[in-house]
Amino acid sequence: MLSLLLGALALTGAASAQDRTTESGEAAITDPSTECTAYAYAPVTAAKANFPEIWTPVTAIYPNDTAAYAKFTAMNASIPDISPKGTMAGDFSNFTPTYPATDPDCWWTYHQCTTPSAASGLSPDVASVPEPRTLGYGFDDGPNCSHNAFYDYLTENEQKATMFYIGSNVMDWPLEAQRAVADGHQICVHTWSHRYMTSFSNEGAFGELYYTMQAIKLVTGVTPTCWRPPFGDVDNRIRYIASQLGLETILWKYDSNDWKVGTDGITAQDVQQNYDNLIANVSGGLFDTQGAIMLTHELNNYTMQVAMDNYPALARAFDHIVPIAVAQNKTTPYVETNYTFQNFASYIANHTNATVVSDGSVSASAGASAVSGGSGSQSTGAIGKSAGVALRVPASLALGLVVLGAALCL
């Protein structure tokens, strides 16, 4: 049995490694190092000259980009008159000593402000979801080149999430970005270069958001209407620029600290404790009136593994785990109105809760549909396939993997 399974795995890897040109081909690769070998994707290659340098902070709109200039010029005069803060790497030591304790800019990094004053005219950030006993499920920093095992796991559990994508990663791993839409996940913006946003000039901050939106549109065919500031670093100036671009600011109330393991004395045990605390808070009634958002990441294999390890317990604790847009009853998550999500009521009616089996793995209930339900549907678009169609691992192989996984655990 084991040798048969391994043989099947080897065959799958060898066959799928040939196709690095389509979303489905890329999604079928099971070897992480093959997944993370660079490839060229023609639409990105053709458009690269119109985008900023990958991983380089955007300081200005790209020369001759008249569409971007027009958009920026239209908002520029009304951007709140707030000076940039600190450095792009997040050193605020020269800034905070003179910053008023009243926090006039509603600067999250200072005292976690998420509610700008009424006078600002800005909407509050989204740090919780309105639906009770519900987890607004999301992951930052993708698309990660080696995310297939994680996305396979989500698909097997019919679980959709909100993915906060970095523009530079989208340009590097466009087929991985397409997979989010193909699998029915929601995509939000997580800036171009992942620096502290309050440090940027107005034009630079605009560019960090704008070019990420353009990259996601280029690759997936959809334009996000939400963003999350890296490190949560946002103030009223940055909120305004984002809002003028049609982006709602999404933060969190709970931090798993998965991204910090190995730094600042944070250990894997601390991360587990953060998950455990969140779960204890559900039974403690903390989310009986509104649901939760916890900061978790697609950053590396550890953060994805810890997400999978904790999914069964989260699924047991919360009544519902849904993408943030679904928990907000936001049925058009993108600028393109041909792509729709179900509202919360119909989403949960069509997504039977995952049932947790005794060995700790999770399997979807038989009543839930793997192909037609989907949280999203798209009649046209760059990918040209229904968002709900996602199963790429043959059922027999998937079952085999579960068996193999269980065997290895013993």
Q: Is 285 exposed, middle or buried (0-12, 13-18, 19+ CB in 10 A)?
A: exposed
Residue closer to Zn ion, measured from CB, 230 or 376: 230
Shortest distance (Å) from residue 301 CB to Zn ion: 16
Stretch that binds Zn ion, among 150-158, 224-232, 264-272, 340-348 (CB under 5 A): 224-232
Question: Is 80 near Zn ion (CB under 5 A)?
Answer: no
Is residue 230 involved in binding Zn ion (CB under 5 A)? yes
Contact letters for Zn ion, residues 346-385 (x by CB under 5 A): ----------------------------------------
CB of 191 to Zn ion, least distance (A): 8
Beta bridge partners of 41: none
Pick 25 or 90: Cβ nearer Zn ion: 90
How many of the chain's residues bind Zn ion (CB under 5 A)? 3
Known active-site residue 320: no
Q: How far is the CB of 190 from Zn ion (least distance, A)?
A: 6
Q: Which is nearer to Zn ion, 80 or 230 (CB)?
A: 230
What span, in angstroms and rounded, lies between the C-alpha atoms of 278 and 287?
10
Smallest gap from Cβ 230 to Zn ion, in A, equals: 4
- Identified catalytic residue from 140, 141, 233, 235: 140
Tell me which residues in 197-216 interact with Zn ion (CB under 5 A).
Answer: none
Of the listed pieces 71-79, 135-143, 232-240, 390-398, which binds Zn ion according to CB under 5 A? 135-143
Closer to Zn ion by Cβ: residue 141 or 203: 141
Which residues from 10-39 bind Zn ion, rule CB under 5 A?
none
Q: What is the 3-state secondary structure (H, E, C) of the chain?
A: CHHHHHHHHHHHHHHHCCCCCCHHHHHCCCCHHHHCCCCCCHHHHHHHHHCCCCCCCCCCCCCCCHHHHHHHHHHHCCCCCCCCCCCCCCCCCCCHHHCCCCCCCCCHHHHCCCCCCHHHCCCCCECCECCCCEEECEEEEECCCCCHHHHHHHHHCCCCCEEEECHHHHHHCHHHHHHHHHCCCEEEECCCCCCCHHHCCHHHHHHHHHHHHHHHHHHHCCCECEECCHHHCCCHHHHHHHHHCCCEEECCCEECCHHHCCCCCCCHHHHHHHHHHHHHHHHCCCCCCCEEEEECECCCHHHHHHHHHHHHHHHHHCCEEECHHHHCCCCCCECCCCEEECCHHHHHHHCCCCEECCCCCEECCCCCCCCCCCCEEECCCCCCCCCCCCCCCCHHHHHHHHHHHHHHHC
Nearer to Zn ion, 197 or 362 (CB): 197
Question: Treating both helix axes as pointing N-terminal to C-terminal, what angle do 174-182 and 148-156 enclose, rounded to 10 degrees?
Answer: 0
Task: Please choose, out of 18-26, 41-49, 87-95, 140-148, the segment that lies near Zn ion by the rule CB under 5 A.
Answer: 140-148
Does the active-site annotation cover 351? no
Which CB, 72 or 227, lies closer to Zn ion?
227
Residue in the shown chain whose Cβ atom is closest to Zn ion: 140
- Taking the complex as a whole, how short is the minimal distance between the CB of residue 193 and Zn ion, in angstroms? 11
Pick one of 26, 105, 140, 172: the residue that binds Zn ion (CB under 5 A): 140
Minimum CB distance to Zn ion smaller for 234 or for 387? 234
Min separation Cβ 196 and Zn ion, Å: 11
Cα(347)–Cα(158) distance, integer angstroms: 12
Q: How many CA atoms lie within 13 A of 168 on its CB side?
A: 15
Task: Give least dist CB 164 to Zn ion, A.
Answer: 7
Among 194, 297, 320, 351, which one carries the catalytic annotation? 297
**Binder among 26, 105, 141, 172 for Zn ion (CB under 5 A):** 141
Question: Distance (Å, rounded) from C-alpha 375 to C-alpha 323?
Answer: 9
The residue among 140 and 172 lying less far from Zn ion, judged by its C-beta, is 140
Q: Which of residues 329-348 bind Zn ion (CB under 5 A)?
A: none
CB of 297 to Zn ion, least distance (A): 7
* Selected range binding Zn ion among 100-108, 228-236, 275-283, 349-357, rule: CB under 5 A: 228-236
**Residues designated catalytic:** 140, 297
Residues that bind Zn ion (CB under 5 A): 140-141, 230
